[in-house]
Amino acid sequence: MEITASLVKELRERTGAGMMECKKALTENNGDIDAAAEWLRKSGLAKADKKADRVAADGRIAVAQAGGKAVLVEINSETDFVAKDANFLAFTDAVAQAALASGAADAEALKAAKIASGETIEEARAAVIAKVGENVQVRRLVAIDSAENVAAYVHGGRIGVLVELKGGDAELARGIAMHVAAMNPPHIKASDVPADFIAKEKEIELAKMSDKDKAKPADILEKIISGKIAKIVNEVTLYGQPYVLDTNQTVEQALKAAGAEVLRFDRLAVGEGIEKKEDDFAAEVMKQAGLA
């Protein structure tokens, strides 16, 4: 059967694959467009398997929200170039919407969820790998489903935050989400800070003190150390930090003024915790030239 340009175009529109890949698929399947589409899908899965071990530490945080239900999904690519690719962006948006609709608890459970096209996320992932030529991974998922005020905020596609706020309003919840994105507090309030962290910081502060200060009466020394620890605790807690939208008050003061309380927050940043391979091109050239 003759492989016409119109047939190639139809397969391209149907699958999103490149022109040469579509022509090859049609040739391999005697012009049967359904068989060619299936061939391309299987080819995409094979390519995905081959790229699975390649480090994907770039990418995007995608978000979807409907009222008090919101999700953030981290989807990784190997490079920033692909992270900005239209195919990759469309895939990440589809994944976020599928995560919201499916109620999947984690990234593993999300693989079987279907996107609007009817494909599973795992099938769509293989297809996008075939298009962009890089490893793509759906790495992490966080979700909130609450009757309280919920805010979902993504900064530049790189950092995403969910906040559940009791009391206050949507504007305050969003402001708190923006603060968490900017300041990355490890804890919500002082009572959440682990006792062993406090003990270690006391030990460090005591070691930094001069012999003259250490010789002060025990009650005075305790006050000095307590003041230093209180400052440290403020730095590592959401409530203790100056509010980024109004640095004249702390987050706790802003919340109290609105009669609000932060019940939880989740923060994802692209690639955090992934060990990135650093290429030393100069050393590689010297090695190949027999100079190292």
Both 199 and 112 in a single domain? no
Both 39 and 77 in a single domain? no
Both 82 and 140 in a single domain? yes
pTM to 2 decimals?
A: 0.76
Provide the residue count of the chain. Answer: 292
Both 168 and 73 in a single domain? yes
Q: Which residue has the higher pLDDT, 38 or 41?
A: 38
Both 62 and 45 in a single domain? no
DSSP readout, 140-168? EEEEEE-SSEEEEEEETTTEEEEEEEESS
pLDDT at 46: 43
Q: Express each pLDDT in 66-124 by its tens digit.
A: 999 999 999 999 989 999 999 999 999 999 999 999 999 999 999 999 998 898 999 89
Last residue of a domain, one of 173, 207, 237: 173
Q: Express each pLDDT in 114-144 by its tens digit.
A: 998 898 999 899 888 888 888 899 999 999 9
CATH of the domain at 124: 3.30.479.20
Both 47 and 62 in a single domain? no
User: 225 lies in which domain range?
Assistant: 190-258
Assess if residue 185 is contained within a domain.
no
Structural domains of the chain, count: 3
Q: Residue 2 — very low, low, confident or very high, per pLDDT cuts 50/70/90?
A: confident
